């Protein structure tokens, strides 16, 4: 059973987002990958990410409900989420984004692939 997912995300326009108490951040237009995991209720978690109507809880929620943001692909994996994240190319646009539960010092679980 998969436990890790990667969301391929496209921003059609640059964004400035206020992410709760985490802060306000600028995101360039382009392609991103977010790596997360769910040990239980895995498909419900994926479905939640795909749904735009929800209570904003995680950093990624704020990004995914913003205007011009679409999920272009969902990848399911058996790999450890941090190992998969570290094996994914790209720069970390916001230090600590999505890394509240990170256990391997990734620096962030959202990566910017490029415009």
CB of 102 to Zn ion, least distance (A): 3
Least Å distance, CB 82 to Zn ion, is 3
Restricted to residues 30-89, the positions that interact with Zn ion (CB under 5 A) are 82
Where do the DSSP E strands lie in the chain?
4-11, 15-19, 23-27, 30-37, 69-77, 110-114
Residue 7 touching Zn ion (CB under 5 A): no
3-state DSSP assignment of residue 44: helix
Measured CA to CA, the distance from residue 24 to residue 103 in angstroms comes to 24
CB of residue 36 to Zn ion, shortest distance in Å: 10
Q: Give 42: exposed, middle or buried? Use CB within 10 Å, 0-12, 13-18, 19+.
A: middle
From CA 26, how far away is CA 106, in angstroms rounded? Answer: 20
Is residue 19 a contact residue for Zn ion (CB under 5 A)? no
User: Which residue, 69 or 106, has its beta carbon nearer to Zn ion?
Assistant: 106
94 touching Zn ion, by CB under 5 A = no
Closer residue to Zn ion in complex, CB, 15/80: 80
- CB nearer to Zn ion: give 8 or 15: 8
Kindly give the residue spans of alpha helices, DSSP state H, lying in the chain: 42-50, 59-64, 81-87
Q: Which of 65, 92, 102, 113 binds Zn ion (CB under 5 A)?
A: 102
Site residues (CB under 5 A) for Zn ion?
82, 102, 104, 106
């Amino acid at each position: 059973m998969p436990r890790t997912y990667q969301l391929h995300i496209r921003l059609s326009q640059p964004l400035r987002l206020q992410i709760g108490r985490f802060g306000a951040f600028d995101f360039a237009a382009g392609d991103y990958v977010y790596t997360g995991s769910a040990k239980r209720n895995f498909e419900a978690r994926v479905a939640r990410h795909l749904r735009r109507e929800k209570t904003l809880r995680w950093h990624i929620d704020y990004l995914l409900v913003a205007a011009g943001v679409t999920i272009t692909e969902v990848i399911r994996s058996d790999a450890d989420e941090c190992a998969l994240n570290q094996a994914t190319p790209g720069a970390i646009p916001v230090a600590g984004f999505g890394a509240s539960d990170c256990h391997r010092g990734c620096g962030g679980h959202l990566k910017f692939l490029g415009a």
